[in-house]
Structure 1
Amino acid sequence: MAIAPTIPAIEPAAETRVPTRSRHRRRLTPARAAILALKFVAGAIIVGLALFPLAWMVISGFKLRTEVVRTPFQFFPDVWEVQNYVQILSDPSFVRTLAITGLGAVIFTTGSIMINSMAAYAFARLEFVGKRIVWPLVLMTMFIPGMTILLTSFIVVTKLYMLDTLAVLILPGLASAAHVFFVRQFYLNIPSSLEEAARVDGCGRWGVYFRVFLPLSKAPFVVVGIGSFMAYWNSFVWPVLTITNPDLFQVQQYLANFRGERSSELGLLMAGSALAAAPIIILFLIFQRQIIANIKMAGLK
């Protein structure tokens, strides 16, 4: 009779314990505490110096006419008055100026994102004749000061009969080499497998752009959009040169005219300036994390 071989029982392996690192807290020595205190004080001084003009402008809007330039200097008013803000907001021309500037800024930002992103996609993913020549020429425009082409730009828009129209404020500045470069750096880091999969599914170049690249572009679009909106909102020289119709005055143009015509009402001017700065500050507060996190993307490649 054959004897069945006995299989030795396999004992369960002993439970292995992964040694954990003991967490050692760095001792706060007097020297380290002094360095941290100096960093905190230096940071507080820098932040205070940066915010002082803005805070003074907002608080000056609550001062009476004679308190803004009082001697000796007084930061806070004796009595807080909201009349300046109420009066400037009840001015139809100021409200119209904010509305027309906001409308132009939204159109300009949308157009800038679309045009610059399409150009960035072309330079990042497409191969066409003259690409190696055109791309350096595009980058060279980043180093040309805007004031040097101001006269020629004015002649061009005059020949096109664009003066005193919203188009003269929007169209000339839509294309930006800096924004094209920034978005292109992001597109270079998108895996080519996504593009190849879209092409296999039957997408053409426009389909790849709209269905693959555009949905992934939220991060650079935030930076480009904020930059475009701020550039339009804060523009002064170009509107003064091309807009003479009061119904199309931009916010900076309106404030400059207000200062020239009603220079004695400084409290009212400070209130208007504070309200004009509010949209940019609000946008930065909303998107500050995205801006800080994505501003480094230009150096990825």
Structure 2
Amino acid sequence: MKKGKPSKTAEGIALIRAIEASKPEAQRISYDPFARSFVHPLSYFISKWIVSTGLYEKIGKGAFAFITARERYIDDYLIHCLKEGLEQIVILGAGYDTRAYRIKGIEKTKVFEVDHPATQMMKRKKLRKVIHPLPDHVTFVPVDFDTQILAEQLFRNGYQKESKTLFIWQGVTVYLKPEGIENTLSFMTKHAPPGSAVIFDYYYKETLEDTNRTDVRNMHRTAKITGENYLFGVEEGKIELFLKDRGFENIQNASSYELKQRYLTGANSHRTIAQGLAIVSANTISK
């Protein structure tokens, strides 16, 4: 992300959610009624046309379907956790995530939206145009990870280490250095009670290094423009060991194939989903 500027990647993801939300209910995988509020109208109509012509699919094969399936999978996991007695939610790198405003029952929890100050400022400005006043159950936690420490900022804003917590870490890990990954996972195991959970998507390390793939080359070209470089991946088949070694259990990994089997059915069965990345959930170890 360019210094002092809102995340362009966050806007791009909101754009995809907005296009998916415009489809009839029987034809969409996920639904975000607020996503369109975060994108410029001209960008929306141009991008919708690009998607409809198939040009987007040629640039990033299966990316659109993965992003919408990811949204739905994490929504479903969040709803499951809410039914299990969740007390607080931390959305790391929240971008233009709108779960705090559209998931039924989430208002009974405390939600912390953590993100870079520039992106968060833009989000709050746009949110106020469609949701006013902003709900009391949401606390915005601006964190500049170059100069501030996540734990300090969360505790300063009311995070309770005794409360059962879900950490949502969507579309973030690939942009972090290994030490950033380690520090964040360590915070979860040290400052959340047993049975708390995390869910995040990640790239296979092999995917990020496969420059023979056109979509991967395009990803790295785009990163040079946005300033959000691809830095972190986990070797395929190694995520369970990776998380066990860092204090997690009940690890559930959903590959692109599993996402396709679950969500790309019926009217969406013809859609292709990107390969080489997955979504994983896990719990902090019960003592």
TM-score relative to the length of structure 1: 0.24
The structure with more strand, counted as a fraction of residues: 2
Flag the structure with more relative contact order, 1 or 2, with Cα contacts below 8 A and sequence separation at least 6: 1
When you count helix as a share of all residues, which structure comes out higher? 1
- If you compute each CA radius of gyration, which structure gives the higher value, 1 or 2? 1
